[in-house]
Amino acid sequence: MARWGRTGWRRALAAVAAAALATPVAAQSYRDRLPQDEVIYFLLPDRFDNGDKSNDRGGLNGDRLVTGFDPTDKGFYHGGDLKGLLRRLDYIQALGATAVWVGPIFRNKPVQGPAGHESAGYHGYWITDFEHVDPHFGIDADFKTLVDAAHARGIKVYMDIIVNHTADVIRYAECDDCAYRSRADYPYTRKGGVTGPAINAGFAGDAVVTAANFAKLTDPRYAYTPFVPKGGEHAKSPEWLNDPIFYHNRGNSTFSGESSTTGDFFGLDDLMTENPRVVSGMIDIFGGWIDRFGIDGFRIDTARHVNPEFWQAFIPAMQARARARNIPNFHIFGEVHDSSPAALARFTRVDAYPAVLDFGLRQAVVDTVAGTRGTDVFETLFAADALYGGGPDTPLQLPTFTGNHDDGRFATEVRRAFPKAGDEEVMARVMLADAMLMTLRGVPTIYAGDEQGFVGDGGDQDAREDMFPSRVPSYNDNRLIGTATTTATAHFGRDNPLFRQIATLARLRLSTPALTRGRQVMRAREEKPGLLAISRFDPTTGQEVLVAFNTATTALDRQVEIGTDGAVATLAGAGCATKPSAPGSLRVRLAPLGYAVCRIGAAR
């Protein structure tokens, strides 16, 4: 294996930073920016910063099983809140982010789970009150202050929302952990199975999504006998959410077949999103957040577990609500946890989604930079861009990422795949992945902590470390990259090489239309670790920008096809010759795990 010098990437980064900082970003109203013009920063409020210790227990009294607060346990509230996020907007802006995606802030069931296996709703996905901020995070006025302050800086605010399910409040008389019961075996018109007594006379099934049809669905006891335990009759808000008739009540999803959209998500109450009353109710709820706070977009959780007809009504309604509020570029993207471009594209063609999170690109980067597959996987990935509704232009607004709060951090993937790699190699691989994220098509999304070299132990709770000083032992024993510190100390500094690289590339991206809105042309790829080269073109001027990456641990020296002649300027990284070797061909020499971003010729 070729060695890269300990200070080589540091010198290169410093040079790139100086060049980028000399290039001003054009002033622009934040409302005018298209979704693809953004760099997104994603965070869970509970794990970001604690600006108000008085709300750590959410106004509740008792132990952690009542309040949900235990900063020493990775599965409970740690104290982060909206005031903490507010006071860190300068940090987010310094990183180069132009939009902040805030994990769900709605009031949650504080604690749920079987005895001995309880955890808290710190993540925000167990909603009871869809209309107000969870007291652990503050009050509605705190969110208004945050949004207004972000907008004053030109930073957009995206909310993370859920319509598939609520917190686990409804119980079944027959069992605690209930298996899924299908529509064939347990039809809506029989109580407890096909041989049971008749109920819901005239109901034509949940595929007939009309108010007249659903008016005939009055008895929810077709599969199980759902009930709300005493004391929980009014646990949810708005009040209509407390009626079991608005839920599927069929037991736990197997995440396949019909249960994918009609089963309970790990026991959470699964809303019957086919019912027109649920559709109109959810439109009222989330349209209200647009009206009250002027937010700029929604990331929608568990999108694949909701029927298409719901999205076909809900998404246009949200876009219309935003336009009425003078928000013309409202960014909506769904979480469809699948790396297949065909599966992802379906949601833009059938379900009316403008965009989905690009799990396909994430997998390609993991396979090549945190793995050993050839760079030809990117050719396969990008060739499928034509599948999306709207064609190849649609993937320009797909949020791209290399790791997140569910799947884990990219640095964790590197450490897992290359357990014998030293810190220099791990750093080089993470920087290469960041360079891909910031220069390829899509909307780069940074998960809080990645810029500080966080390396978790896995996914889910193991990837949800605190940015403020942590008291969780399994977080604090992690070996971070780019720093000798641990998560036991606050990480809002700006000296980690990863922070500096992302800030530099973000500024470059935002000042280079070819990188935000430009089409891509594949120039080179290999069936083994090595060269990936792609040209991107300014949609207005035709300016060509070549991005080249070396996923191998040996240096490479290659000729790469280009479409423009003239002088070549290196914008980031290193390796492009200063002029073409011949018309249509440029020499590229990349260090092991190196990259280069180069402008070719003059704008046409």
Average pLDDT score, the chain: 95
Residues 257, 261, 265, 267, Cα dihedral to 10°: -90
Beta-carbon contacts of residue 258 (< 8 Å; ≥ 6 apart): 182, 183
Q: What is the DSSP letter of 26?
A: P
Query: What type of residue is 338?
Result: D
Q: Where in the chain is the domain with CATH 2.60.40.1180?
A: 518-600
Catalytic entry in 206, 270, 309, 335: 335
What is the 3-class SS of 276-298, one letter each residue? HHHHHHHHHHHHHHHHHHCCCEE
pLDDT at 4: 43
The pLDDT > 70 percentage for the chain reads: 95
Taking each helix axis as running N to C, give the angle between helix 359-369 and helix 410-417, from 0 to 180 degrees, rounded to the nearest 10.
Answer: 30
pLDDT at 602: 76
pLDDT at 113: 94
pLDDT at 12: 44
Residue 359 binned pLDDT confidence (cut-offs 50, 70, 90): very high
pLDDT at 27: 42
Q: Where in the chain is the domain with CATH 3.20.20.80?
A: 30-164+275-509
Under a CB-based contact definition with an 8 Å cutoff, are residues 443 and 398 in contact? Answer: yes
- Give the architecture-level CATH label for domain 30-164+275-509: Alpha-Beta Barrel (3.20)
Average pLDDT on 6-20 reads 44
Taking each helix axis as running N to C, give the angle between helix 359-369 and helix 376-383, from 0 to 180 degrees, rounded to the nearest 10.
Answer: 170
Model confidence over 285-302: pLDDT tens digits? 999 999 999 999 999 999
Check pLDDT > 70 for residue 22: no
The pLDDT > 90 percentage for the chain reads: 95
Q: Which ranges of 111-172 would DSSP assign to H, the alpha helix? A: 140-152
CA 3 to chain centre: 34
Query: In the annotation, is 301 catalytic?
Result: yes
| Count of Cβ atoms closer than 10 Å to residue 292 Cβ | 14
Model confidence over 154-190: pLDDT tens digits? 999 999 999 999 999 999 999 999 999 999 999 999 9
Q: Please name which of 319, 341, 313 lies closest in space to residue 331, comparing C-alpha atoms.
A: 319
Query: What are the φ and ψ backbone dihedral angles of 66, each rounded to 5 degrees?
Result: -100, -50
Burial class (CB in 10 A: 0-12, 13-18, 19+), 357: buried
Catalytic entry in 38, 274, 301, 367: 301
Report the distance separating Cα 355 and Cα 397, nearest Å. Answer: 6
Q: Considering the entire predicted model, what is its pTM?
A: 0.95
Under a CB-based contact definition with an 8 Å cutoff, are residues 503 and 36 in contact? Answer: no
Residue 604 binned pLDDT confidence (cut-offs 50, 70, 90): low
| Count of Cβ atoms closer than 10 Å to residue 95 Cβ | 18
Residues 70, 71, 73, 75, Cα dihedral to 10°: 80
- Give the architecture-level CATH label for domain 518-600: Sandwich (2.60)
pLDDT at 24: 35
Tokens 């200070």 found at:
7
Residue 18 binned pLDDT confidence (cut-offs 50, 70, 90): very low
